[in-house]
Structure 1
Amino acid sequence: MNDNELGTFLRTWRESVTPAEVGLPAGPRRRTPGLRRAELATLAGVSVEYLTRLEQGRDRNPSVQVLGALADALNLSLRDRMLLRRLTKEADGGDPLLCAAAPPLSRGARPTVRAVLDRLEPTPAVVLNWIGDVLAHTGGYARLTGPIGLLDEERPNLLRYLFTDERARAAYPDWDRVADDLVAQLRHEAPLRDPYVAELADELTVTAGAVFADRFADLGAAPRRVGTQHVEHPEAGPLRLSHETLALPEEGQRIVVHLPADDATAAALDRLNGRRPGALRAVRPAG
């Protein structure tokens, strides 16, 4: 049994990626068609000595930032990034225990909150906890987000979907703005030093790489509770939605309600929900 699976994984991938695949010249007299350690170290922003220690199993506890950088440099798929993260945790002795003093993370919505959702039908509305887990939603939200893949997982999470599902970039033409807002909410609205946020951030730093890590490191970005969002829906076509956020501070939750921002979107949502045209009215944002 290999007791250095992390090092073997990194070395195997380094040797299988050609210089051309990462934009480097092949050059003469190469002993291997893959990358040299110095080349991968430069691409990932680490020292050759440190990369050597990782490959040889002399260092088994790289930071998530280093893992994300290595995954980016090797152009790893999401599946391989998840394997890299698992191998690192196993090499380090398993997942760290969450702090016992941390407030419990809500995994469901109260009956009265669900009753509010019932009253909102068929408007797309969703209940989220502070790390973006989908706890409850209206049927209208399922018809809006189900076809784009957001609800495919057993425990859907907005951030995980946005940063790791390739369908998200096609679904959200203003993907960068949506990503900025969700990460700002993650940083600013969770309890201080929350272990659940740390765990999700570590995961996405590895699985999504710099596109998430750079946003998470930006302390100056402020979350926006209202705004307009564009969605390219595979059944309803292009949609323009205004959203309003209602806070449930005692539960650490929020309700996000999506409303049509123009008449074309209102008509498209009516068709999507099987209602007569004009049942929904556009709510145009101020200004």
Structure 2
Amino acid sequence: MTTHPSSLAAFLRSRRERLKPEQVGLASHGRRRTPGLRRAELATLAGLSVEYLERLEQGRDTNPSGAVLTALADALRLSRDEKQHLALLAMRQHSATLLPAPPRVGDDPRPGMRDLLDRLDPTPACLLGPVYDVVAWNAAWETAATPLGVLDTDPPNLVRYHFLHPLAHRTFDDASWASTADEAVGWLRAAEPDWGSDGAFRALIEDVQAVPEFAARWATHVVASRQPASKRIWHPGVGHLNLRLEVLFAGEANHWLQLWLPSDDEAATALGSLLHTRPSPAPHARLAPTTRGVEA
């Protein structure tokens, strides 16, 4: 699976356009036709010629050296996640054969994951894939997530839920919805070098691209890694819950566990009350139907 040559070029342009001259110690003179740094300014900061930077940003040079990438990363003030993304884009573009092929989006999780989810009960926990399909979950997570509408689609998908399901704006207040949207889009951009050619990945992007809130974020090329996060949600069964969404990688690059943990005593009491009223746990964690992406 390869990354389109324009991916590196688009990422470089997006990082230049978001960087203000004042952030790198430059004075801003006159009106600018485009936001961010001028190409000549970035070239000076990175010690490159304007002509060479232009070739990189237009996708006409696809083999920048490590020294060039390092100079650009420093000049663009890239974060750790962004530096990793830049390096992966460059590798996928020029040396893809050196990187192991990622598993398909629709590959099944290993059987032990289902047993682990059962053993985590009564902590709500689910197993996610690279396009944020919920591929397996335990009984506690099903009890907590069903009233939110997360399980209304088959298979459930957290990105589709967030951007397409009307209940998502009830679950999150405006600020939390926006921050979670930023994270979700950043996750997908970070996954794109590995899974951008996978049919399931492309289908997801096509589904949510029509939503302006997604399209605007997607165009910025912001990337983010999967990190634990604190969320305040509204649950119809118990009201507001302050939760910590813990992240545990499952050993394979395309599956990871998400656990819902209470952030305070009030949330712990409310969550305990909610889960206490649920039916007895099923003998095995639920496994969502497999949906395999179409080969590129």
The corresponding residue for 2:161 is 161
Give the 3 Å change call, closer, same or farther, for CA 102–237 of structure 1 in structure 2.
same
Contact 1:107 1:135 in 2 (8 A): no
CA contact (8 A) 1:226 1:244 kept: yes
Identical columns (%): 33
Give the Å deviation of 1:103.
Answer: 3.8
> TM-score scaled to structure 1, two decimals?
0.56
Letter in 1 for 2:196: R
When the two structures are aligned, how many residues end up with a matched partner?
173
In 2, Cα distance between equivalents of 1:270 and 1:193? 40
1:105 aligns with 2:74: no
Residue of structure 2 in register with 1:91 after alignment: none
Deviation at 1:121, TM superposition (A): 0.3
**Could you tell me which residue of structure 2 aligns to residue 197 of structure 1?**
201
Q: Tell me, in whole angstroms, the C-alpha distance in 2 between the residues paired with 1:243 and 1:130.
A: 17
Partner residue, 2:270: 268
Q: State the alpha-carbon separation in 1 of the partners of residues 235 and 107 from structure 2.
A: 28
CA distance in 2, matches of 1:115, 1:102: 24
**Does residue 236 of structure 1 match 2:238?**
yes
Match of 2:114 in 1: 114
Q: Secondary structure at the match of 1:182?
A: helix
Cα displacement (A) at 1:224: 4.7
The within-5 A match list for 1:91-240 is: 103-173=103-173, 174-190=176-192, 191=194, 193-195=196-198, 196-206=200-210, 208=211, 210-240=212-242
After superposition, give the CA deviation of every residue in 1:64-112 in whole Å (9 maximum; x if it has no partner): xxxxxxxxxxxxxxxxxxxxxxxxxxxxxxxxxxxxx874223543220
The one of 232, 254, 257 aligned to 1:255: 257
1:144-184 deviation digits (Å, cap 9, x = unpaired): 11001110112111111110111101111211111111111
User: How do 1:35-50 residues align onto structure 2 when only pairs under 5 Å count?
Assistant: none
Q: Distance in 2 between matches of 1:157 and 1:166?
A: 14
CA positional deviation for 1:249: 4.8
Letter in 2 for 1:127: L
Higher RCO (C-alpha under 8 Å, 6+ residues apart): 2
Look up the equivalent residue of 2:139 and give its one-letter code: G
Deviation at 1:122, TM superposition (A): 1.0
SS of the residue 1:169 aligns to: helix
Equivalent position of 2:87 in the other structure: none
What whole-Å deviation, never above 9, does each CA across 1:193-239 have from its counterpart, x for those lacking one?
33332221122112x2x211111222234235112011100001100
Following the alignment from structure 1 to structure 2, what is the Cα–Cα distance between the partners of residues 107 and 221? Answer: 24
The answer to whether the 8 Å contact 2:105/2:201 transfers is no
- The residue type equivalent to 2:144 in the other structure is L
- How many angstroms does 1:241 deviate by? 0.3
Q: Paired residue for 1:57?
A: none
| Aligned equivalents of 2:216, 2:158: Cα separation in 1 | 18
Structure 1 residues not aligned, in runs of 5+: 1-100, 276-287
* C-alpha separation in 2, matches of 1:148 and 1:192: 28
Q: Distance in 2 between matches of 1:151 and 1:124?
A: 14
Q: Aligned ranges for residues 18-29 of structure 1 at < 5 Å?
A: none
CA distance 1:237–1:197, change in 2 (3 Å)? same
The root-mean-square deviation of aligned C-alpha atoms, in Å, is 1.9
Letter paired with 1:150: V
Q: Which amino acid aligns with 2:127?
A: V
- Residues 144 and 275 in structure 2, CA contact (< 8 A), matched pair in contact too: no
Contact 2:189–2:223 (Cα < 8 Å) also in 1: no
Q: What amino acid sits opposite 2:228 in the alignment?
A: V
Please give the alpha-carbon distance, in whole angstroms, between the structure 2 residues aligned to 1:108 and 1:168. Answer: 27
Structure 2 gaps of 5+ residues are 1-100, 278-296
TM-score normalised per structure 2: 0.55
